Structure 1
Amino acid sequence: MTDPIATVLEAGPLDPALAGFLAQAAAQGNPPLETLPLPVARQIYRDLAAGLGLPAPAIASANDRVIDGPCSPLTLRIYQPDAEGPLPLLLYVHGGGFVIGDLETHDKVCRTLCHDVAAVVVAVDYRLAPEHPFPAAVDDVACALRWVAAHARELGADPSRIALAGDSAGAQLATVAALRTAGTITPRALGLIYPVAQHYSEPSPSMVENGEGKFLTTGVMQWFIDCYLGGRQALARNADFALLHAQALDTLPPTWLATMGHDPLRDEGHALALRIAQAGVPTAHRHYPGAIHACIHFTAVSPLGTQVMAELAAWLRTQLAPWQCLKDDRRES
C-alpha cells in the first residue's frame, strides 16, 4: 500500500542556498541557453553537472558498451557496484530536455544510484534532438530496455529485478519505454524525477509561476520541445510524448515520482502522479517544496538534491529486494 497523493501540494520558500545560486547566476547576465549554439549549450550543461555536484561514491567499475540500436550503434555505460550478485539492474535515462544531456552530464547521478541501490546501472546514450527528432530518443530507450532484459545475467544481474528511472526528459522517455514494452518486459519499479508530461501549449500554473529565474525557464522548455518534436504541433497530444494524454498507465510498474516546489514542471508531474495512481498503480509521490528543477546536479550547493537521490535509492532498494520479488511471485501464482 502507498499513501494517498495530496491533491494540493505543500508550498514553501525557495531553499536559501538555491536562491543564492540563482541570484549569482542572474548577476552574471549570461545569454539564454536557447540562444546559444548547440555545442555550447551542451558543454554548459556538462560543466554545471561536473562543477556543482558532490563527488560520487566509489563503485567497482564503469565501462561503455556499444550495441545495435534501431537505426545506428547505441552506446550504453554499465556501472557495477562493489557488491555480490546476482544484483538488481537499473536502466537510467538522463535528462536534458531531449537536447543537451548525455552520459557525462549524469555520470555522478548514475554512480550514486549504483552505490546506494547496490545495483548494476545501465545508462543509455540515446540520440538527441534536433539532429534526431521524435521518436528517435524513445526508440533508443525502448531498445536499451529490451537489451538489458535479455542480457541481465551477462551483466551479473537478476532479470526478474529490473527497474527504470530518469529525470526530466529522461523520466518521460523511461515511462514511454515502459508503456511500449508492457506485456513483454515486466520491470519491478519506475522512478521519475520531475518528469516532462505535457506540451507547453497546455501551460500549467507552475509553468507560469516558475517560468523565469528558477533555472529551467519557459523559453528553454519551449526550445527543447520544439527541437524534439521537430516543430510538429500535431504531436502535442501524442501519447508517446504527452504522458497526460496516455491511456494505458495501468500497465506501468510501481512508480515513485518526485516534484519540486519551484519547478515549472511541478504541476504536470503532480498531475501525472495522480493519473498513475488513479490507474491503479502503486504510486509514491514525494514533493520537495524548496527545490528547483535539476537540483540533483546541485548537491554541492544544497542538500535537497542529495535528499531526492537518497529517497529514490531507498525506494528502489525496497522494490528490488529479493524478498519483494518472492512475495510478488506468490501473489501472482
Structure 2
Amino acid sequence: MAYADGIEKFVETVNNALPPDFYTYPVEQQRVLYDGLTEALPIPVPDGVRHRDETVTHQGRTARIRIYEPAGRADDAVLFYIRGGGFVIGSLHSHHSLVAELADRTGLAVVALDFGMAPENPFPGPLEDCYAGLCGTLANLSALGLGGIDPQRAVLCGESSGANMAVVLSMMARDRGGPRLRGQAVISPVLDFTRWRHGGEDAPLLSGGEMEFYTACYCPEAAQAEHTYVSPLLGGAFDGLPPAYVVGCEMDSLCVDAEKYAALLRENGTPVTYVREKGMVHAPVRARRVSEPAAEFFARYCAAVAELAGRGTRP
C-alpha cells in the first residue's frame, strides 16, 4: 500500500502538531493540541454559511448543538454531524469548517451534535447526549429557526468515534421508536472496541496505544466494551436501519470494521454503498486542502450524503 498524493505530507503535518504519543499527555493538554489542528491545517469557512449555537432538551436531558445554514437552503432535508476524537478530544471548534463545508456543498442545514466527553462522561453519556440532541432538534425545528424542514428527512453523518455514534444512534432510534431517519453516512467507523482493550496494531495517525486509551476512557468497566451500543459488530441487530454510505480507508486499521458493517447491512436487506478509499489514512477529512485525492474523497462523500437526503450537491 502507498499513500495517495499529498497524504504523506498530511501525516507529517498532523504528527508535528499532535505527536504520536499525545494520548499519554494530560487530557486537557490533549484537547488543546487537537483543537490546534485547525491552525496547522487551516480551512476557511465557505462564504455565506451562517451558524449559531443552541440547546435542546429531550426527556429531561439537555444537549448542545450548532446549526449551520448555507446561503440559500436548497431543500427541506437536514443533516446531523458527529465529530471524531475517540469520545475524549475534539469540540465544535475542531470540526467547524468541515461541518460548514458540508452545509455549503449539499445546500442543506446541518446540525453538529455536541456531547460531554470521556473520561468525565463515559458510556453511555456521549450517546445519550447525541440522542437528546437529535430528538430535541427534530421535535423543535420551527423554534430553532428551521421551519420548513421535514423531520423525516434526517441523515446522520460522522467520522471515527463520531461514525460509531451515528451507527449506534440509528440503532437507538429504531429500538426506541425514535425518529425515522433517511440515511447514515459514516467514515472510518470504529465498531468493535474489544479489539483495543489491550492495544493493537499501529496505523498512520491511529496507534494501538491511542485506541487502548480511548477504550479505557469510554468504557471504564471492561465489560462495557462488549455492549451492543459500544461494539455493534458484536451481536448487534442490523435489520430496519436506514440506507447507508460507508467509507473505509485502505491504510486504516479500522477499515475492517467498515467492511464488516457494510456486509451486515447488506445481508439484512439495508441498501448500502461501501467505498474503500485507496491510499487514505484514518478519517482523512482534514486532508482535503493538502491532498487532491482527499478533496475528491470529501466531494464524493458530500454527494453521497446529498443523495441519501434526496437531493444533489451544488457544483
TM-score under structure 2 length normalisation: 0.89
Instruction: Report if aligned partners of 1:188, 1:254 keep a CA contact under 8 Å in 2.
Output: yes
Say whether 1:272 aligns with 2:266: no
Query: For 2:110 and 2:66, how far apart are their aligned partners in 1?
Result: 8
* Separation (CA, whole Å) in 1 of partners of 2:6 and 2:281: 11
| 1:315 to 1:128, Cα distance in 2 relative to 1, 3 A | same
Q: Which runs of 5 or more residues in structure 2 are unaligned? A: none
- Is residue 187 of structure 2 the alignment partner of residue 193 of structure 1? yes
Matched letter for residue 179 of structure 1: M
| CA displacement at 1:178 relative to structure 2 | 1.3
The number of aligned residues is 305
Are 1:131 and 2:125 matched, yes or no?
no
Matched residues in 2 for 1:118 and 1:215: separation? 31
Distance in 2, matches of 1:60 and 1:133, equals 33
Report the CA distance between 1:291 and its aligned residue. 0.6
**Equivalent residue runs for 1:152-171 within 5 Å:** 152-154=141-143, 155-156=146-147, 157-171=149-163
Could you tell me whether the CA contact under 8 Å between 1:14 and 1:291 is conserved in 2? yes
Find the partner of 1:49 among 35, 38, 58: 38
1:220 to 207, 210, 213: 210
- Contact kept? 1:249, 1:279, Cα under 8 Å: yes
Q: Report if aligned partners of 2:161, 2:189 keep a CA contact under 8 Å in 1.
A: yes
1:113 is paired with a residue whose SS is helix
Equivalent positions of 1:1-333 (< 5 A) are: 12-23=1-12, 30=19, 32-68=21-57, 73-84=62-73, 87-154=76-143, 155-156=146-147, 157-182=149-174, 183-201=177-195, 208=201, 211-212=202-203, 214-230=204-220, 232-321=221-310
RMSD between aligned residues: 2.3
Q: Structure 1 residues 192, 24: CA separation in 2 closer, same or farther (over 3 Å shift)?
A: closer
Residue deviations 1:23-74, cap 9 Å, x none? 5666899461111111111111111134314323223410000223677642
In 2, are the aligned partners of 1:76 and 1:123 still within 8 Å (CA)?
A: yes
Q: What SS does structure 1 have at the residue aligned with 2:52?
A: strand
Q: 1:151 to 1:35 in 2, by over 3 A?
A: same
Q: What is the one-letter code of the residue matched to 1:134?
A: F
* 1:329 aligned partner: none
Deviates more, 1:50-59 or 1:292-301: 50-59
Deviation at 1:234, TM superposition (A): 0.9
Q: Secondary structure at the match of 2:150?
A: strand
- Relative to structure 1, the CA distance from residue 31 to residue 165 in structure 2 (aligned partners, 3 Å threshold; closer, same or farther) is closer
Unmatched tracts of structure 1, length 5 or more: 1-11, 324-333
Residues 241 and 79 of structure 1, relative CA distance in 2, 3 Å threshold: same
Structure 2 counterpart of 1:57, one-letter code = P
The 8 Å contact of residues 296 and 309 in structure 1, kept in 2 or not, is answered as yes
C-alpha contact 1:259 1:270 (8 A) present in aligned 2: yes
Identity of matched residues, %: 27
- Distance in 2 (CA, whole Å) between partners of 1:101 and 1:14 is 25
Measure how far apart 1:176 and its partner are. 1.0
Name whichever of 128-137 and 22-31 sits farther off: 22-31
Q: CA deviation at 1:151?
A: 2.2
- For residues 318 and 17 of structure 1, the distance between their equivalents in structure 2, rounded to whole angstroms, comes to 28
Tell me what 1:331 maps to: none
Q: Distance in 2 between matches of 1:127 and 1:77?
A: 14
Any conservation in 2 of the 1:49–1:298 contact (CA below 8 Å)?
no
